[in-house]
Amino acid sequence: MSDKEKINENEVLENEVKENVSKDDALEKAREARKAMAARSAAVKEVAEKASADDVVVSNGEAAVHEIKFKKPRAKMNGWDWAFVICNTIFLICFCIVTLYPVLNTAAYSFTDGREAILKNVHLLPKKFTTAAYEQVFEMPGIRWGLLTTVGRTAIGSILSLAANALLAFIISRKKFLFRNGLSLFWVITMYASGGLIPTIYLMTKLHFVGTFWVYVIPGMVSAFNILVLRTFMDGIPESYEESAQLDGAGYMTIFAKIISPLCKPVYATIFLFVAVGHWNSWFDALIYNKFNIKLTTLQYELQKLLASLTQKTGSADSGGKTTTQSPTTSIQVRSAATIATMLPIICLYPFLQRYFVTGIQLGGVKE
């Protein structure tokens, strides 16, 4: 064999050795990678098992605490505790009876026959049930127009009054407003000093409000008391809400509509209820401005006329020697029916606003 052939053979052998070594290294690295992956998966599995075990322990602990809370025996009540519970229960029952009895008695009189009503032997349930008093009330010629006018002035007047008072209260509640103190003082003065009845009638005549529906809405749309109540509530709202909104580019109307108003729902509900009750029970303005327009009189004014006419009829019957038992209805029946008819809508309105009162009480107990 020549030297060249030996050299070539050695090079071939060296190349084979190198290839075998590289293959062994690759196998070794693959084994190490597999071991690392196995160790990593084992660690992950261990962590997952530990986390699930902790969750089970926590859930078991919460269940145990919950069970302990509900299975905790009540403290034994001594004699003074029982005496307080009994006295408190009796007091609340008596308070409910005193509060509800006049309403139930009035309702019973409104559904009682006239002769039984004269004897005044009615308590909680009507005797000889009849709806003659309600039929007489709602058969009056002006009662339907009065009901329509009263509902309209209550709805429109309450909404417009709440909107106007809220906007004015928002303006004077801003500390950057220059005339906030002066306007507040001006409105407080109007609560104690007024122009009087004759100047008010003269002003309404010059403004051409007499004989129109708007005489019920516009003159009383702004109330100094309501403005001060709303301003006081708005002053308690943190200024950080307004500042954050201004940083986002919101204007004053946006702040009022989307930030202040949602937070003022409890006081809005209170003011709305006050104004609505005032509009519903009002009758003197109808007597002054729209007495001779039957289409613009209010429900309360029509009922007042009905009661006055019944009083006159009762007096004339008594003076003529006749008894009121000859009439199918008596004044006490009609008065009771009118009271229930005028009180019922406000009673139905209150439950829809009650949740806002509860929310306002809860917000008032939270301190920043």
pLDDT of residue 357: 63
pLDDT of residue 217: 92
What does 312-333 look like in DSSP terms, one character per residue? HHHHHHHHTT--GGGSSS-HHH
pLDDT of residue 162: 93
pLDDT of residue 78: 77
Residue 340 near residue 253, CB atoms below 8 Å: no
3-state secondary structure of 275: helix
3-state secondary structure of 193: coil
The 10 Å Cβ neighbour count of residue 201 is 13
- The tokens describing 118, both together, are 């004269």
Name residues whose C-beta falls within 8 Å of residue 264's C-beta, 6 or more positions apart in sequence: 166, 230, 233, 234, 237
Helix (H) or strand (E) holding 335: helix 331-364
Query: What does the angle CA 145 – CA 157 – CA 271 come to, to the nearest 5 degrees?
Result: 130
pLDDT one digit per residue (tens) for the chain, 368 residues: 555 555 566 566 666 656 665 666 666 766 776 777 677 667 656 655 665 554 444 455 444 444 444 445 566 777 788 888 899 999 999 998 888 888 888 888 888 887 777 777 777 888 888 888 888 888 877 788 888 899 999 999 999 999 999 999 999 988 888 888 888 888 888 888 878 888 888 999 999 998 899 999 998 899 899 999 899 888 888 888 888 888 888 888 998 998 899 888 888 988 898 899 899 988 888 889 988 888 888 888 888 887 777 777 665 555 444 444 444 567 788 888 888 888 888 788 777 777 766 555 444 444 44
Extract long-range pairs of 348-352: CB within 8 Å, 24+ residues apart.
349/273, 349/276, 350/273
In order of 168, 171, 180, 245, the CA distances from 174 in angstroms are: 10, 6, 8, 14
pLDDT of residue 164: 93
pLDDT of residue 307: 76
